[in-house]
Structure 1
Amino acid sequence: MTKKLFLTVIIAFCAITFASAKAKFPVCLPCEKIQPIQELPTDSEIQKLVGQKVNLSYINTEYGILWMSIWNTNGRYVLSDISNNTYFEIDTQEAKILKEKHDFDVTTAENPLSFWKKTGGKLVFFILIALLIWGNLSSKKTKNVKPTNI
């Protein structure tokens, strides 16, 4: 009987530990982010090829912490559904249609990410790290102050 009780307590403790082990602040290591760039018209040839309404989107792998994008990799243009949950790689036929009908060249288009996503998060992150290090180093200095008797 005591073994069963002990085992139940251990399982309950582990379940509570796993449930409370969630991070208190958002960490994204790595996350795929899809950003819509352009809505394509419903009568587009691309819609017919894919079989559903899609948007031109940009997908990248993002590393971030506290809503700050620290690093972005693997950026490319894709076609995404309306909810931006599913994406389709752009093949050569779709790239040709985008270039001819929509004046958008997938191969030469620039990175559409904002300044904040590209470099702003890095700047803020490194400034915060520098302030933490500086605060930690300056707090270790002790001042020798002699007490005065009144």
Structure 2
Amino acid sequence: MRATRITAFVMTVSAMLVTLAACATPASATRESIRPLRIVNATFDGVTALAMAPSGSADFRDIALAQPLRGGLASVMVEVPPGACRRDVRVTFHGGRTLLYPHLDVCRNDGLRLAVGSTRTGRSMPLKRDDIQVAGSP
């Protein structure tokens, strides 16, 4: 009878330890691996490509779009690649026009609205290299 109580106690403590270990997993590890971002296209042009890089870097990673994101308030959810919170987002529109949205904090913002005239501040200015335009920063 005493052995049964000891076995039951050991099993209960083991189950509690497993539960505590699962609860102790940092939330940031989960958020980092799955971080969705909603892209809303409020422009007149369709978006044909999307890429992200750590802010200030040229290490852009393409974000797969199942199909081009048409203009006129169409939206899509994409997964942000793991990494730092501050990102530069490069958007390519139908016809080849490209906008760069620098310094987007994907930890604090859950979406990016692509607006006519460029972005959140309504400004765009040509970048010195290629034909990429830089949209206003957040």
Q: What's the TM-score, normalizing by structure 1? A: 0.35
When Rg is computed on C-alpha atoms for both structures, the one with the higher figure is 1
Q: Which has the higher strand share?
A: 2
Q: Which has the higher helix share?
A: 1
Larger relative contact order, structure 1 or 2 (CA cutoff 8 Å, min sep 6): 2
